[in-house]
Chain A
Amino acid sequence: MKKVVVMQWIAVVALCSLLAVGCAKKPAAQQAPAEAPVETKVAVEQPTAVADQGVSESSVKEQVPADIEAVARQLQRIHFDFDQFSLSAQARDILAANAALLQANAGVKVRIEGHCDERGSDEYNLALGERRAIAARDYLVSLGVAADRISTISYGEEMPLDPASNEAAWAKNRRDEFKAVR
């Protein structure tokens, strides 16, 4: 009787190992896709050095602290022609305003996001979006904004402002966005 049980166990183990071999060819994700941990960024307050300066009476003015929200609201988008990353006269005017805003708020950094309309290869548009972001960065730097305050990223055609497929939407979507960041 004992022997039979042992034999049964051997059979079970052998079967299991066979099945284990079998499962090597199975896409793991056919099981319910594991919930990946959602990365949540915990905002940690950085201790900021307190500037302590002696001032004369004449320097006392109502200094508005650099308000990132306000800057973020005032930074304006620029737009591009199809398959182009050159800056139009209008774009240069807007960039000049953005540069002035950044120079008045030295504590604020900016992330320039380059975007394209949906036409074109996705990869080509990723490269084009990057060129659009870099074109704006270079112009801001030429206007005196420190290069280390500016970062760039391309989203290609992945984040349209207007999901419609028409000329008006495409014109809106070919753009640089300026995001104020600390």
Chain B
Amino acid sequence: MTRLILPLLLLLVLVTPAWSAIEISAPGQQQIPLALTVLQPLDGGRNPALAEEFNQVLSWDLELTGLFSRIDPRAFLADAGRLGLLSIDVDFAEWRLLGAEMLIKGGYSLRGGQLVVEARLFDVRARRLLNGRRYVGKPGDVRRIAHAFADQILKSLTGSLGPFSSRLAYISDQSGRKELYLMEVDGHKPVRITNHRSIVLNPDFSADGRRVIFTSYRAGNPDLYQRDIFSGRESRLSARRGLNVGGRFAPRDDRIALTLSKDGNSEIYLLDGNGGISKRLTRYWGIDIDPTWSPDGDRIAFVSNRRGNPHIFLLSTDGGDPQRLTLNGKYNVTPAWSPKGDWIAFSRKEGSLFDIYLIRPDGSEERRLTFGPGNKEHPRWSPDGRFLVYSSDESGRKAIYLMRADGSGSVKVSGGSGNCNHPAWSPRW
């Protein structure tokens, strides 16, 4: 019982208006000079390690956003060492002197197995509080609290929450077999959640974030499984002859788009929540695979070789003829429709290497996001559409990377031994 985590209780919410609307994916934008101070003890008990961990987690998240330039903490003056969480107590003149426009301060107390973190975001020029949160949890929750505050900082500055409290699912072979894992967005706390001792592939989250679907060869055929993440309950949703692969939950309900080859050829189907076939979407003798939903659930993008090479096509879920989307390249696969609906990410093989591209759903503005050595594949969007997760073998083994939606700021997040691929970004956790 003691190992159970008391849920974070957000006791105090200081409602604040958005600072200004900032488009995070806009390249070359000006960065906001930010001072991130270390949490101070709210009462007598000091725990420098805890304060440092909060600082590191928050710092990593904010770095990924690309929104901030950081004031060197070595230049900090007296106010950085004072608790002073009310705007009247903050020496804003001192922070202006250092060039800071944004200031993060906070305090913590750790008492009787309860962790309290008070976190504040101040606008230095306006000398006012932008966002204040009080988090109550267990000592082990410090990472979750830091991620949650990072989400709030983005909300204050851009109007929409960040994705740092969500999770990444991915496939790793570190146990010797390909199994499904979950980890935090920054790659910490990886947890293996399947033990099929077979081949597990290609996870996707349900809209409520509580379930994952994936393909596994556990019963000798590539079948589609569904697993409740929290209870661990697992069932086989589709075990039709041949392929049951590439399952993708609909954005708002439990329908699943996937590829079946029960009639001897791979076609895109829709399943209902119980695994029954509700619709067949494609009829073509070649390969149809890799469906992804538009956020309104009205359309599907998928991969077909009906024009010879694998290209991306769009199709209404009401039926009709597929429309070709990608005209360039000779090998375009693994489309992923953005949560805002404005882009479709995919990977293209040019020569012998895969890189990640974006294209508008009307076929315009195609752009390449990744360059350099290695294969970059399997792009998937963060729930807020700001970031992409993908796999790359640029460091030798396949690993999971994040980058901003404009291709900047790429960073490896998966660690450990083995190969990691097939990432999927959960909805808000």
Contact = CB atoms under 8 A, between A and B. Distances in A.
A22 B6 contact: yes
B229 A27 contact: yes
Interface stretch (B58-66, B75-83, B189-197): B189-197
A24 B231 CA distance: 8
Interface string A135-154: 00000000000000000111
A113 B289 CA distance: 19
A126 B191 contact: no
Contacts of B178: 158
B352 A119 contact: yes
Contacts of A134: 264
Interface residues of B, number: 53
B230 A123 contact: no
Contacts of A83: 309-310, 331
Interface residues of A, number: 38
B243 interface: yes
Contacts of A35: 195
Contacts of B230: 24-28
B182 A154 contact: no
B182 A36 contact: no
Interface in A78-110: 83
A90 B3 CA distance: 62
Contacts, number: 121
Nearest to B422: A122
B5 A22 contact: yes
Given A27-B182, A30-B191, A123 B331 contact: no
B88 interface: no
B64 to A, nearest CB: 23
Contacts of B199: 155, 158-159
B101 interface: no
Contacts of A26: 4-5, 230
Interface in B53-111: none
Interface of B: 1, 3-7, 178, 182, 191-193, 195-197, 199, 201-202, 217, 220-222, 228-232, 242-243, 245-246, 259, 261, 264-266, 287-290, 303, 309-310, 331, 333-334, 347, 349, 352, 354, 377-378, 421-422
Given A22-B4, A123-B333, 15 more contacts: A19-B1, A23-B4, A28-B228, A31-B3, A120-B331, A120-B349, A121-B290, A122-B201, A123-B246, A123-B259, A123-B290, A127-B287, A154-B242, A154-B243, A158-B199
Nearest 3 pairs of A and B residues by beta carbon = A121-B333, A28-B232, A127-B266
